[in-house]
Amino acid sequence: MVELFAREGAQVLTCSRSERKDPLPQGISSLTADVSRSDDVKKLASEAVSRLGKIDILVNNAGVQVEKTVVDSTDEDFEALMSVNTWGVFALCREFIPLMAGNGGGTIINIGSISADHADPSMALYNASKAFVHSLTRSIAVDHGHQRLQLVVDDRHDGLRRVYRFASEIPRASAGPRRSSPSRRKASVCTSGCGRGARPCPRPSTRTPGSRSGIRQTFRALCP
């Protein structure tokens, strides 16, 4: 994902819990941070401003998956998953909304899942965490859309994007490509988590699967 943003001309800052040893392509810098820790979230926001200046796009991509039922899940499972999948998304949005609003607006992309609406078996905590992400995204659109913020839930493996613009709760779903603007400036992107998202749902889907070209089209449509 970060490489695709960079190919489109964006300056990207990404983070992960472990330190990266392999070199990154031009236009991408990295930071060691754990989005479940308050101090690390504040550090990520500060570093994003220091390295990138104006933040155009925030991508909340970090996630944890526990494959258990409610009965089988432990307190430790709950803390490990929810601290990243829910609190991490909330904390990063809380830090970046004022930064974006103070600079004319921006786009927040929260990686969701079809599991938010159609529960996968033995994935109780993960399903619940993605429902939280969907609801939080709508709430931010309602409360902060007037600050020129655009909110997106991207169900990556379902090929569905739900776009909430300027306090509107009417989703605009799209599974196909979007036209790119002929004149767009270079964007600055901060993304949490650079690994792969959750595995695809084993159920057959009637929607067009997500793809790298879909991510590319998302960038072109959302970049100011």
Q: Is 164 a catalytic residue?
A: no
Q: Pairing mode, if any, of strands 106-111 and 57-60? A: parallel
Strand arrangement of the beta sheet that strand 149-155 belongs to:
28-32, 11-16, 188-192, 57-60, 106-111, 149-155, 160-165, 172-174
Alpha carbon distances (Å) from 103 to 32, 92, 148, 182, 204: 26, 17, 10, 23, 43
Alpha carbon distances (Å) from 80 to 28, 63, 85: 28, 10, 9
The CA-CA-CA angle for residues 213, 160, 173, to 5°, reads: 110
33, 15 in Cβ contact below 8 A?
Answer: yes
Catalytic residue among 87, 96, 126, 132: 126
Q: What is the rounded (10 degree) CA torsion for 40, 73, 132, 81? A: 20
The span from the CA of 125 to the CA of 4, in Å, is: 30
CB atoms within 10 A of CB 29: 16
Residues noted as catalytic: 126
